[in-house]
Amino acid sequence: MSSIVDELYSIHYHTTILSTESLPENKVLTNQDESHFIDQLTDRFNPPSHWVYGNVNRSCLCLVCSTAPIVIWCGSQYSSLRIALITYLKAEDITLILFSVEEHLRQWLDLNSSLTIASLILQPDIHIQELIARTHTYAGIRSILVRCRTTDLIAIQRYSRSYPKVDGIFDDDNRLLIKLVVDLALFSEELGDRQREDDNNEMEAQKNYARALKLCALVRKI
């Protein structure tokens, strides 16, 4: 699948600031009515795409059963990055889970320790260094991306040198999104190669290759 890699490297990064006004309207599932939360999720988001918004309660922490790459975000519910993630990833066969409470994130990670997390995106308002340190210990996390304020950028860059899973620190939504989508495309290609060569499963391999190509196209839209 060298064509995918070649296409990724041909894409020029740009730095246009993403505004919430420029994004299309999103239908977001919330769990304000917790008694019906799982039923709503099952009805609206059947495999292969699942995504959850809000404070995930204990009853649905073991929700993920899809083979699609998992992306987790943790931060303020009013974040423009959260809106952008929903907008761009909801149709791309990506399992997207969003948390606004760190404790719920850690509960989910504890209960789903056998899963591989393609990318964990951290955007807390405070205590970002402590959150990096706590989440870095989870073996299933492949990559951590951090969204922070410009005034905190240098300090977090210096701090994160001791944490090799931290794969990027950004003060701009678009740069983080491009990095994320490129990483997901390469990860999908890697999954396809593994399923073709190790598992002899050509059908699943082609699904991953197709996702990688779609993600390459998505980068150009960001």
What is the spatial order of strands in the sheet that 95-99 belongs to? 51-52, 95-99, 70-75, 119-123, 144-147, 166-170
Extended strands (E) in the chain: 51-52, 70-75, 95-99, 119-123, 144-147, 166-170
pLDDT of residue 78: 87
pLDDT at 66 over 70: no
Q: What is the mean pLDDT of residues 153-168?
A: 96
As a dihedral over the C-alpha atoms of residue 139, residue 141, residue 146, residue 147, rounded to 10 degrees, the angle is -140
pLDDT of residue 68: 85
Mean pLDDT of the chain: 77
The distance from CA 179 to its chain's CA centroid, rounded to whole angstroms, is: 11
Please state the pTM of the whole predicted model: 0.75
Buried b (16+ CB within 10 A) or exposed e, 184-203: bbbbbbebbeebbeeeeeee
188 closest CA partner among 71, 107, 47: 71
Give the three-state DSSP class for 80: helix
Q: What is the mean pLDDT of residues 110-134?
A: 94
Quick count: other Cβ atoms within 10 Å of Cβ 165? 16
Q: What is the amino acid identity at position 175?
A: R
pLDDT band at 200 (very low <50, low <70, confident <90, very high): confident
138 closest CA partner among 152, 149, 154, 122: 122
Query: Where does residue 55 rank: exposed (0-12), middle (13-18), buried (19+ CB within 10 A)?
Result: middle
Q: Where are the domains of the chain?
A: 27-172
39's enclosing H/E stretch is helix 37-44
27-172: in CATH 3.40.190.10: no
Mean pLDDT lowest for which of 36-45, 166-175, 176-185, 190-199? Answer: 36-45
How many CA within 13 A on the CB side of residue 106?
11
More confident residue, 196 or 48: 196
More confident residue, 42 or 212: 212
Q: What is the mean pLDDT of residues 189-208?
A: 91
Helices and strands, number each (H, E), in the chain: 8, 6
- pLDDT tens, residue by residue, 69-118: 999 999 988 899 999 999 898 777 888 898 988 988 998 999 899 999 99
pLDDT of residue 157: 96
